Structure 1
Amino acid sequence: MRILAIDTSNDVLGVGLVDETKVIGEYITNLKKNHSIRVMPAIERLLADCETNPSELDKIVVAGGPGSYTGVRIGVTIAKTMAWSLGIPLSNVSSLAVLAASGRYFPGLVSPLFDARRGLIYTGLYRVQGHEPVVLKEDCNIPAAQWAEILKETNEPILFIGNDINIHSETFSSVLEEKAHFAAAGEFNPRPGELGLLGISRPEENIHTFTPNYIRLVEAEAKWLERQGKMTND
Protein backbone atom coordinates (compact mmCIF):
# COMPACT_ATOMS: atom_id res chain seq x y z
CA MET A 1 0.00 0.00 0.00
CA ARG A 2 1.52 3.32 -1.09
CA ILE A 3 0.15 6.54 0.33
CA LEU A 4 0.82 10.08 -0.86
CA ALA A 5 0.64 12.75 1.84
CA ILE A 6 0.13 16.46 1.04
CA ASP A 7 0.45 19.38 3.46
CA THR A 8 0.25 23.00 2.31
CA SER A 9 -1.71 24.27 5.30
CA ASN A 10 0.96 26.76 6.40
CA ASP A 11 4.32 28.12 5.23
CA VAL A 12 5.72 24.60 5.32
CA LEU A 13 5.10 22.73 2.08
CA GLY A 14 5.42 19.00 2.56
CA VAL A 15 4.73 15.95 0.42
CA GLY A 16 5.55 12.44 1.47
CA LEU A 17 5.30 8.87 0.23
CA VAL A 18 4.82 6.07 2.77
CA ASP A 19 3.75 2.48 3.07
CA GLU A 20 2.62 0.62 6.18
CA THR A 21 6.14 0.17 7.53
CA LYS A 22 8.28 3.10 6.41
CA VAL A 23 8.60 6.59 5.02
CA ILE A 24 9.77 6.09 1.45
CA GLY A 25 10.43 9.74 0.69
CA GLU A 26 9.71 13.30 1.79
CA TYR A 27 9.98 16.77 0.32
CA ILE A 28 9.80 19.70 2.77
CA THR A 29 10.40 23.43 2.50
CA ASN A 30 9.64 26.19 4.99
CA LEU A 31 9.34 29.21 2.72
CA LYS A 32 6.79 31.94 2.20
CA LYS A 33 6.31 31.10 -1.46
CA ASN A 34 3.28 30.31 -3.57
CA HIS A 35 2.27 26.72 -2.82
CA SER A 36 -0.14 26.68 -5.76
CA ILE A 37 2.68 26.65 -8.31
CA ARG A 38 5.12 24.54 -6.29
CA VAL A 39 3.16 21.61 -4.90
CA MET A 40 2.51 19.67 -8.13
CA PRO A 41 6.17 19.84 -9.25
CA ALA A 42 7.13 18.68 -5.74
CA ILE A 43 4.76 15.71 -6.01
CA GLU A 44 6.03 14.83 -9.47
CA ARG A 45 9.65 15.00 -8.34
CA LEU A 46 9.01 12.92 -5.22
CA LEU A 47 7.19 10.18 -7.14
CA ALA A 48 9.87 10.12 -9.83
CA ASP A 49 12.69 9.89 -7.29
CA CYS A 50 10.83 7.10 -5.48
CA GLU A 51 10.17 5.31 -8.78
CA THR A 52 6.43 5.37 -8.17
CA ASN A 53 3.82 5.93 -10.85
CA PRO A 54 0.65 7.78 -9.79
CA SER A 55 -1.33 4.70 -10.81
CA GLU A 56 0.50 2.76 -8.07
CA LEU A 57 -0.86 4.98 -5.31
CA ASP A 58 -3.49 3.42 -3.05
CA LYS A 59 -4.54 6.45 -1.00
CA ILE A 60 -4.14 10.21 -0.67
CA VAL A 61 -3.86 11.82 2.77
CA VAL A 62 -4.13 15.58 3.22
CA ALA A 63 -3.58 17.96 6.11
CA GLY A 64 -7.08 19.42 6.21
CA GLY A 65 -6.47 22.43 8.45
CA PRO A 66 -6.51 24.58 10.38
CA GLY A 67 -3.95 27.03 9.06
CA SER A 68 -3.63 29.49 6.22
CA TYR A 69 -6.96 29.77 4.42
CA THR A 70 -5.31 29.79 0.99
CA GLY A 71 -2.76 27.13 1.91
CA VAL A 72 -5.33 24.70 3.30
CA ARG A 73 -7.56 25.18 0.26
CA ILE A 74 -4.70 24.49 -2.16
CA GLY A 75 -3.73 21.22 -0.51
CA VAL A 76 -7.29 19.95 -0.16
CA THR A 77 -8.17 20.84 -3.75
CA ILE A 78 -5.15 19.01 -5.15
CA ALA A 79 -5.73 16.01 -2.89
CA LYS A 80 -9.39 15.76 -3.90
CA THR A 81 -8.57 16.11 -7.58
CA MET A 82 -5.87 13.43 -7.48
CA ALA A 83 -7.99 11.02 -5.45
CA TRP A 84 -10.94 11.45 -7.80
CA SER A 85 -8.90 11.12 -10.99
CA LEU A 86 -7.03 8.04 -9.71
CA GLY A 87 -10.14 6.47 -8.18
CA ILE A 88 -8.53 5.99 -4.76
CA PRO A 89 -9.57 6.92 -1.19
CA LEU A 90 -8.91 10.29 0.41
CA SER A 91 -8.32 10.75 4.13
CA ASN A 92 -7.89 13.85 6.23
CA VAL A 93 -5.70 14.50 9.28
CA SER A 94 -5.72 17.65 11.41
CA SER A 95 -2.75 19.86 10.56
CA LEU A 96 -2.23 20.33 14.31
CA ALA A 97 -2.30 16.59 15.00
CA VAL A 98 0.50 16.08 12.48
CA LEU A 99 2.60 18.64 14.33
CA ALA A 100 1.72 17.17 17.73
CA ALA A 101 3.05 13.77 16.64
CA SER A 102 6.57 15.21 16.63
CA GLY A 103 6.32 15.61 20.40
CA ARG A 104 5.80 11.90 21.06
CA TYR A 105 8.84 11.58 23.33
CA PHE A 106 7.87 14.44 25.62
CA PRO A 107 6.69 13.20 29.06
CA GLY A 108 3.58 15.33 29.24
CA LEU A 109 1.03 17.08 27.05
CA VAL A 110 1.61 18.64 23.64
CA SER A 111 0.14 21.90 22.37
CA PRO A 112 0.95 22.40 18.67
CA LEU A 113 0.22 25.87 17.37
CA PHE A 114 0.13 28.11 14.34
CA ASP A 115 -0.05 31.89 14.66
CA ALA A 116 -3.41 33.32 13.53
CA ARG A 117 -2.41 36.99 13.93
CA ARG A 118 -3.81 39.64 16.27
CA GLY A 119 -2.80 37.62 19.32
CA LEU A 120 -4.77 34.57 18.17
CA ILE A 121 -3.46 31.06 17.60
CA TYR A 122 -4.71 27.82 16.10
CA THR A 123 -4.03 25.15 18.67
CA GLY A 124 -5.28 22.08 20.52
CA LEU A 125 -4.12 19.86 23.36
CA TYR A 126 -2.86 16.34 22.74
CA ARG A 127 -1.32 13.39 24.48
CA VAL A 128 0.76 11.29 22.11
CA GLN A 129 0.23 7.61 22.86
CA GLY A 130 2.64 5.49 20.87
CA HIS A 131 2.44 7.06 17.43
CA GLU A 132 -1.09 8.45 17.76
CA PRO A 133 -1.87 11.99 18.96
CA VAL A 134 -4.96 11.69 21.19
CA VAL A 135 -7.10 14.81 21.39
CA LEU A 136 -7.65 16.18 24.91
CA LYS A 137 -8.94 19.60 23.84
CA GLU A 138 -10.29 20.09 20.33
CA ASP A 139 -8.50 22.24 17.78
CA CYS A 140 -9.55 25.85 18.19
CA ASN A 141 -8.82 29.46 17.28
CA ILE A 142 -8.22 31.34 20.52
CA PRO A 143 -6.21 34.22 22.02
CA ALA A 144 -2.84 32.94 23.22
CA ALA A 145 -3.35 34.56 26.64
CA GLN A 146 -6.69 32.80 27.09
CA TRP A 147 -5.20 29.47 26.03
CA ALA A 148 -2.44 29.89 28.60
CA GLU A 149 -5.03 30.40 31.35
CA ILE A 150 -6.91 27.26 30.25
CA LEU A 151 -3.72 25.21 30.29
CA LYS A 152 -2.88 26.55 33.74
CA GLU A 153 -5.53 24.19 35.11
CA THR A 154 -3.60 21.12 33.99
CA ASN A 155 -1.20 19.36 36.33
CA GLU A 156 1.31 18.24 33.72
CA PRO A 157 4.17 19.84 31.78
CA ILE A 158 3.17 21.10 28.34
CA LEU A 159 5.31 21.12 25.21
CA PHE A 160 4.58 23.91 22.74
CA ILE A 161 5.64 23.04 19.21
CA GLY A 162 5.58 24.80 15.85
CA ASN A 163 7.32 27.48 13.83
CA ASP A 164 5.36 30.25 15.56
CA ILE A 165 6.02 29.41 19.21
CA ASN A 166 8.56 32.22 19.57
CA ILE A 167 5.81 34.76 18.90
CA HIS A 168 3.88 33.59 21.96
CA SER A 169 6.52 32.00 24.21
CA GLU A 170 6.60 34.95 26.61
CA THR A 171 2.84 34.69 27.17
CA PHE A 172 3.02 30.99 27.95
CA SER A 173 6.10 31.30 30.15
CA SER A 174 4.62 34.09 32.24
CA VAL A 175 1.40 32.19 32.95
CA LEU A 176 2.59 28.58 33.07
CA GLU A 177 6.10 29.20 34.43
CA GLU A 178 8.01 25.90 34.79
CA LYS A 179 5.17 23.89 33.20
CA ALA A 180 5.84 25.52 29.81
CA HIS A 181 8.38 23.77 27.57
CA PHE A 182 9.30 24.67 24.00
CA ALA A 183 10.36 22.35 21.20
CA ALA A 184 13.69 22.74 19.43
CA ALA A 185 13.79 24.25 15.93
CA GLY A 186 14.39 20.83 14.38
CA GLU A 187 10.90 19.78 15.52
CA PHE A 188 9.01 22.84 14.27
CA ASN A 189 8.09 21.55 10.80
CA PRO A 190 5.18 19.11 10.47
CA ARG A 191 6.49 16.01 8.70
CA PRO A 192 4.60 14.83 5.61
CA GLY A 193 5.80 11.29 6.29
CA GLU A 194 4.12 11.50 9.70
CA LEU A 195 0.98 12.75 7.99
CA GLY A 196 0.95 9.76 5.67
CA LEU A 197 1.44 7.25 8.48
CA LEU A 198 -1.31 8.83 10.59
CA GLY A 199 -3.62 8.78 7.58
CA ILE A 200 -3.37 5.01 7.08
CA SER A 201 -6.01 4.37 9.74
CA ARG A 202 -8.13 7.48 9.13
CA PRO A 203 -11.58 6.94 7.60
CA GLU A 204 -12.23 7.68 3.95
CA GLU A 205 -13.73 11.09 3.15
CA ASN A 206 -16.45 11.70 0.61
CA ILE A 207 -14.40 13.39 -2.12
CA HIS A 208 -17.33 15.52 -3.31
CA THR A 209 -18.48 16.84 0.07
CA PHE A 210 -15.24 17.00 2.05
CA THR A 211 -14.22 20.56 2.97
CA PRO A 212 -11.22 21.89 4.90
CA ASN A 213 -11.38 22.73 8.58
CA TYR A 214 -10.81 26.46 8.58
CA ILE A 215 -12.10 26.76 12.19
CA ARG A 216 -12.92 30.43 11.66
CA LEU A 217 -14.21 32.49 8.78
CA VAL A 218 -11.61 34.37 6.83
CA GLU A 219 -11.69 38.10 7.47
CA ALA A 220 -13.35 38.94 4.14
CA GLU A 221 -16.17 36.47 4.76
CA ALA A 222 -16.68 37.70 8.33
CA LYS A 223 -16.94 41.31 7.16
CA TRP A 224 -19.36 40.33 4.39
CA LEU A 225 -21.62 38.50 6.86
CA GLU A 226 -21.39 41.43 9.25
CA ARG A 227 -22.54 43.78 6.49
CA GLN A 228 -25.40 41.44 5.57
CA GLY A 229 -26.51 41.35 9.20
CA LYS A 230 -26.53 45.13 9.40
CA MET A 231 -28.53 45.37 6.18
CA THR A 232 -31.08 42.86 7.53
CA ASN A 233 -31.46 44.77 10.78
CA ASP A 234 -31.87 48.15 9.07
Structure 2
Amino acid sequence: MKLFIDTCNWKLVLILKKDDQIIDSLILPDTKKVSDIALSTITKLLSKNNLKINDIQEFYLTNGPGSYTGVRVGLTIVKTLKTLNNEIKVYLMNSLAFQAANDQAISILDARGNKYYIGVYENQKSLIEETVVNLSELDDIKKTYNDFIIKKDNESLDYIQTFNLLEKKFRLVDEIEEILPLYIKNFI
Protein backbone atom coordinates (compact mmCIF):
# COMPACT_ATOMS: atom_id res chain seq x y z
CA MET A 1 0.00 0.00 0.00
CA LYS A 2 1.20 3.51 -0.86
CA LEU A 3 0.31 6.88 0.65
CA PHE A 4 0.98 10.21 -1.06
CA ILE A 5 1.10 13.20 1.30
CA ASP A 6 1.32 16.87 0.34
CA THR A 7 1.15 19.41 3.15
CA CYS A 8 3.36 22.05 1.55
CA ASN A 9 1.01 24.61 0.08
CA TRP A 10 -1.96 25.37 2.31
CA LYS A 11 -3.74 22.14 1.43
CA LEU A 12 -3.73 18.68 2.88
CA VAL A 13 -3.60 16.13 0.07
CA LEU A 14 -3.70 12.40 0.75
CA ILE A 15 -3.86 9.65 -1.88
CA LEU A 16 -4.03 5.95 -1.04
CA LYS A 17 -2.90 3.57 -3.76
CA LYS A 18 -2.62 -0.19 -3.96
CA ASP A 19 -0.88 -1.67 -6.97
CA ASP A 20 -2.13 0.50 -9.83
CA GLN A 21 -5.46 1.42 -8.24
CA ILE A 22 -6.32 4.56 -6.32
CA ILE A 23 -8.16 3.30 -3.24
CA ASP A 24 -9.13 6.67 -1.78
CA SER A 25 -8.08 10.30 -1.68
CA LEU A 26 -8.73 13.45 0.28
CA ILE A 27 -7.97 17.06 -0.59
CA LEU A 28 -8.64 19.68 2.06
CA PRO A 29 -8.12 23.23 0.77
CA ASP A 30 -7.07 26.24 2.84
CA THR A 31 -5.67 24.26 5.76
CA LYS A 32 -3.65 26.95 7.48
CA LYS A 33 -3.59 24.69 10.56
CA VAL A 34 -2.38 21.59 8.71
CA SER A 35 -0.18 20.75 11.69
CA ASP A 36 -3.32 20.41 13.84
CA ILE A 37 -5.20 18.06 11.51
CA ALA A 38 -2.70 16.08 9.40
CA LEU A 39 -2.11 13.09 11.65
CA SER A 40 -5.75 12.68 12.69
CA THR A 41 -6.90 13.06 9.07
CA ILE A 42 -4.44 10.39 7.90
CA THR A 43 -5.68 8.10 10.67
CA LYS A 44 -9.32 8.69 9.66
CA LEU A 45 -8.57 8.01 5.98
CA LEU A 46 -6.80 4.78 6.85
CA SER A 47 -9.56 3.71 9.25
CA LYS A 48 -12.23 4.44 6.63
CA ASN A 49 -10.40 1.96 4.38
CA ASN A 50 -9.87 -0.64 7.13
CA LEU A 51 -6.15 0.06 7.19
CA LYS A 52 -3.57 0.84 9.84
CA ILE A 53 -0.43 2.88 9.42
CA ASN A 54 1.59 -0.36 9.40
CA ASP A 55 -0.20 -1.34 6.17
CA ILE A 56 1.57 1.47 4.31
CA GLN A 57 4.89 0.28 2.87
CA GLU A 58 5.64 3.29 0.67
CA PHE A 59 5.24 7.01 1.37
CA TYR A 60 5.42 9.63 -1.36
CA LEU A 61 5.87 13.22 -0.27
CA THR A 62 6.38 16.67 -1.61
CA ASN A 63 9.15 18.28 0.42
CA GLY A 64 8.68 21.96 -0.44
CA PRO A 65 9.02 24.73 -1.12
CA GLY A 66 5.89 26.12 0.43
CA SER A 67 4.48 27.05 3.78
CA TYR A 68 7.32 26.71 6.30
CA THR A 69 5.16 24.78 8.77
CA GLY A 70 3.33 22.88 6.05
CA VAL A 71 6.58 21.60 4.54
CA ARG A 72 7.65 20.21 7.90
CA VAL A 73 4.35 18.50 8.77
CA GLY A 74 4.31 15.71 6.18
CA LEU A 75 8.07 15.20 6.43
CA THR A 76 7.98 14.97 10.23
CA ILE A 77 5.19 12.39 10.18
CA VAL A 78 6.98 10.18 7.69
CA LYS A 79 10.41 10.70 9.24
CA THR A 80 9.00 9.53 12.56
CA LEU A 81 7.41 6.46 10.95
CA LYS A 82 10.69 5.61 9.19
CA THR A 83 12.51 5.97 12.50
CA LEU A 84 10.12 3.42 14.00
CA ASN A 85 10.26 1.12 10.97
CA ASN A 86 13.27 1.54 8.72
CA GLU A 87 11.78 -0.97 6.25
CA ILE A 88 9.25 1.52 4.87
CA LYS A 89 10.21 3.27 1.66
CA VAL A 90 10.12 7.04 1.36
CA TYR A 91 10.05 8.90 -1.95
CA LEU A 92 10.41 12.67 -2.35
CA MET A 93 9.73 15.26 -5.03
CA ASN A 94 9.76 19.02 -4.70
CA SER A 95 6.38 20.71 -4.96
CA LEU A 96 7.41 22.89 -7.93
CA ALA A 97 8.40 19.83 -9.97
CA PHE A 98 5.20 18.04 -8.93
CA GLN A 99 3.09 20.97 -10.12
CA ALA A 100 4.98 21.09 -13.44
CA ALA A 101 4.29 17.39 -14.06
CA ASN A 102 5.80 16.31 -17.38
CA ASP A 103 5.02 19.58 -19.10
CA GLN A 104 7.24 22.29 -20.46
CA ALA A 105 6.28 24.62 -17.64
CA ILE A 106 7.13 27.53 -15.42
CA SER A 107 6.02 26.37 -12.00
CA ILE A 108 5.14 29.17 -9.58
CA LEU A 109 4.08 29.07 -5.93
CA ASP A 110 3.22 32.12 -3.86
CA ALA A 111 6.00 32.68 -1.32
CA ARG A 112 4.06 35.57 0.29
CA GLY A 113 5.30 39.15 0.57
CA ASN A 114 5.23 39.67 -3.22
CA LYS A 115 7.77 36.88 -3.69
CA TYR A 116 7.36 33.68 -5.69
CA TYR A 117 8.97 30.25 -5.58
CA ILE A 118 9.78 29.35 -9.15
CA GLY A 119 11.09 26.43 -11.13
CA VAL A 120 11.30 25.91 -14.89
CA TYR A 121 10.93 22.35 -16.15
CA GLU A 122 10.84 20.38 -19.33
CA ASN A 123 9.60 16.82 -18.86
CA GLN A 124 10.68 16.91 -15.17
CA LYS A 125 14.16 18.21 -16.04
CA SER A 126 14.90 21.38 -14.11
CA LEU A 127 16.15 24.12 -16.45
CA ILE A 128 16.96 26.61 -13.67
CA GLU A 129 17.67 26.09 -10.01
CA GLU A 130 14.52 26.52 -7.94
CA THR A 131 14.59 29.98 -6.40
CA VAL A 132 12.60 32.86 -4.94
CA VAL A 133 11.96 35.87 -7.17
CA ASN A 134 10.09 39.16 -7.04
CA LEU A 135 7.46 40.15 -9.60
CA SER A 136 9.85 41.85 -12.04
CA GLU A 137 12.20 38.84 -11.98
CA LEU A 138 9.21 36.57 -12.54
CA ASP A 139 8.20 38.66 -15.56
CA ASP A 140 11.73 38.33 -16.97
CA ILE A 141 11.63 34.53 -16.58
CA LYS A 142 8.24 34.41 -18.28
CA LYS A 143 9.70 36.36 -21.22
CA THR A 144 12.72 34.05 -21.43
CA TYR A 145 10.50 30.96 -21.45
CA ASN A 146 7.57 32.53 -23.29
CA ASP A 147 6.44 29.30 -24.96
CA PHE A 148 6.19 27.45 -21.62
CA ILE A 149 2.92 26.78 -19.78
CA ILE A 150 2.47 28.80 -16.58
CA LYS A 151 1.38 26.65 -13.63
CA LYS A 152 0.66 28.65 -10.51
CA ASP A 153 -0.36 27.79 -6.94
CA ASN A 154 -1.65 24.32 -7.87
CA GLU A 155 -4.65 25.90 -9.60
CA SER A 156 -6.54 23.23 -11.51
CA LEU A 157 -3.94 20.63 -10.50
CA ASP A 158 -5.40 17.14 -10.61
CA TYR A 159 -3.41 15.58 -7.78
CA ILE A 160 -4.46 12.01 -8.53
CA GLN A 161 -3.66 12.23 -12.22
CA THR A 162 -0.35 13.98 -11.49
CA PHE A 163 0.63 11.45 -8.81
CA ASN A 164 -0.14 8.57 -11.18
CA LEU A 165 1.89 10.26 -13.90
CA LEU A 166 4.92 11.06 -11.70
CA GLU A 167 5.00 8.18 -9.21
CA LYS A 168 8.04 6.55 -10.81
CA LYS A 169 9.88 9.89 -10.92
CA PHE A 170 9.89 10.46 -7.15
CA ARG A 171 13.34 10.01 -5.62
CA LEU A 172 13.78 7.11 -3.18
CA VAL A 173 15.65 8.15 -0.05
CA ASP A 174 17.78 5.53 1.63
CA GLU A 175 18.51 7.17 4.96
CA ILE A 176 16.32 9.03 7.42
CA GLU A 177 18.75 11.95 7.27
CA GLU A 178 17.82 12.40 3.58
CA ILE A 179 14.19 13.20 4.43
CA LEU A 180 14.78 16.93 4.27
CA PRO A 181 12.63 19.94 3.48
CA LEU A 182 13.36 22.11 0.48
CA TYR A 183 13.48 25.60 1.88
CA ILE A 184 14.28 28.30 -0.62
CA LYS A 185 15.30 31.57 0.95
CA ASN A 186 15.81 34.95 -0.56
CA PHE A 187 18.13 37.42 1.12
CA ILE A 188 17.20 40.55 -0.86
CA distance 1:197–1:152, shift in 2 (3 Å):
closer
Superposed CA offset, 1:48-99 (max 9, x none): 2233332221111211010111111111111111222233121211111222
Contact 2:106–2:142 at 8 Å: present in 1 too? no
Give the deviation of 1:136 after TM superposition. Answer: 2.4
| 2:176 matches 1:212 | no
In structure 1, the partner of 2:128 is 137
CA distance 1:156–1:71, shift in 2 (3 Å):
same
| 2:83 matches 1:115 | no
Question: 1:164-179 to 2 correspondence within 5 Å?
Answer: none
In structure 1, the partner of 2:83 is 84
Percent identical residues: 29
Q: Could you list the runs of 5+ residues in structure 2 that have no partner in the other structure?
A: none
Superposed CA offset, 1:188-213 (max 9, x none): 5x726744763445222421343211
Which structure 1 residue ranges, 4+ long, deviate > 6 Å from structure 2? none
Counterpart secondary structure, 2:183:
coil
Question: 1:122-201 to 2 correspondence within 5 Å?
Answer: 122-128=117-123, 133-154=124-145, 156-162=147-153, 185=155, 187-188=156-157, 191=159, 194-195=162-163, 198-201=166-169
In structure 2, the partner of 1:57 is 56
In structure 2, the partner of 1:173 is none
TM-score where L is the length of structure 1? 0.69
Bigger proportion of residues as strand: 2
Superposed CA offset, 1:102-128 (max 9, x none): xx5xxx632222111232101111234
Superposed CA offset, 1:135-188 (max 9, x none): 22232111132122123123524223325xxxxxxxxxxxxxxxxxxxxx5x15
Contact 1:18–1:24 at 8 Å: present in 2 too? yes
| 2:29 matches 1:38 | no
In structure 2, the partner of 1:10 is 9
CA distance in 1, matches of 2:141, 2:173: 33
Q: Could you list the runs of 5+ residues in structure 1 that have no partner in the other structure?
A: 164-184, 223-234
CA distance in 2, matches of 1:207, 1:197: 26
CA distance 1:209–1:198, shift in 2 (3 Å):
same
Task: Point out the more displaced range, 17-26 or 88-97.
Answer: 17-26
